[in-house]
Amino acid sequence: MAFDALPPIGMGTFRLKGDDAREAVRSALSLGYRHIDTAQMYGNEAAVGDGITTSGIPRREIFITTKIWFDRLHRSDLINSLQTSLQQLKTDHVDLALIHWPSPDDEVPMEEYLTALRDAQREGLTDHIGLSNFTCAQMDQAREILGDTPIFTNQVEVHPFLANRKLVDHAQRLGIPVTGYMPLAVGKVMEDETLQQIASAHHITPAQVAIAWCAARGVVPIPSSTRPKHQTQNLDALKIRLTDDEIRTIDALDRNERIANPDFAPNWD
């Protein structure tokens, strides 16, 4: 089937390699995940592909996202790299291909790589196209370049300590859904007293509170976990309804604490 929207939660695979990636993907799919997120830079597309193909879940029921690294943004490099990704993932197409980071210092013009990505979509290499780590101004520019071609998502860092409010609001105003990576702030949410208190009131975990808060904002969370117990808890977090007061309390934890901030990152909003 063709997906017309992002599944409400995804399984992130950043930092997972080899058997860990393979087993985590297979476990996630067996528990009910249908959105698997990887990237060329993760170096695990082959293992992720193994996890998918050995899961027993039909390919058409699984939404696969991969991301094109910034050293492959020239037109021919982009298409070739995506074809390599498909071979690694053992599929004839991905559901979503993202530009992982905007070209540092605009070394490759945005028009070149976004039109190449659109060409890849027209060739059937990907059903949908989108962005990752693009600022408000860059989203505006991308929207102008792509015109009527929908931007399926902008995938950015979102967790209680980095609400990324300006960017999330701007994307949603443009009609661009937001995917939130690192929703658990690489485990830091577990140590926060405020989140612990809210979790205790609901008899859940602080990780589930963070995921429920993302979902309440209309952000699609893609937590990464290798343990079936945690994967199940992450899925169950979508059923949790936080009160308006609780959401405001979590909102107040925002301290602009950015975890993914490499030296080639754009000038953040």
**d(C-alpha 31, C-alpha 224), whole Å:** 14
User: Would residue 42 show up in a list of annotated catalytic residues for this protein?
Assistant: yes
- pTM for the whole thing? 0.97
Residue 180 CA, chain-centre distance (Å), reads 6
Mean of pLDDT values over 186-201: 98
Measured CA to CA, the distance from residue 103 to residue 88 in angstroms comes to 24
**Residue 232: φ, ψ to 5°:** -65, -45
Tell me how far apart the alpha carbons of residues 222 and 229 are, in angstroms, rounded to a whole number.
16
**Each residue's pLDDT tens digit, 142-156:** 999 999 999 999 999
Structure token digits, residue 242: 């936080």
Of 253, 259, 203, the closest CA to residue 233 belongs to 203
Of 33, 42, 113, 181, catalytic: 42
**Which of 222, 194, 221, 199 is closest to 209 using CA atoms?**
199
pLDDT band at residue 1 under the 50/70/90 scheme: low
Confidence of residue 193 (pLDDT cuts 50, 70, 90): very high
The pLDDT of 257-268, averaged and rounded, is 97
* 3-52 per-position pLDDT tens digit: 999 999 999 999 999 999 999 999 999 999 999 999 999 999 999 999 99
Q: Which residues contact 74 (CB under 8 A, 6 or more apart)?
A: 108, 112, 113, 116
* Predicted pLDDT of residue 90: 98
Average pLDDT, the chain: 97
**CB-based contacts of 261, cutoff 8 Å, min separation 6:** 268
Cα–Cα distance, 193 to 203 (Å, whole number): 15
Q: Where are the chain's structural domains?
A: 11-181
Q: pLDDT-derived band of residue 210, with 50, 70 and 90 as boundaries?
A: very high
Place of tokens 């952000």: 219
Average pLDDT over residues 189-214: 98
Per-residue pLDDT at 2 exceeds 80: no
Considering Cα of 216, then 62, then 68, then 43, what sign does the dihedral take?
A: positive
How large is the average pLDDT for residues 163-186? 98
Identify the CATH number of the domain defined by range 11-181: 3.20.20.100
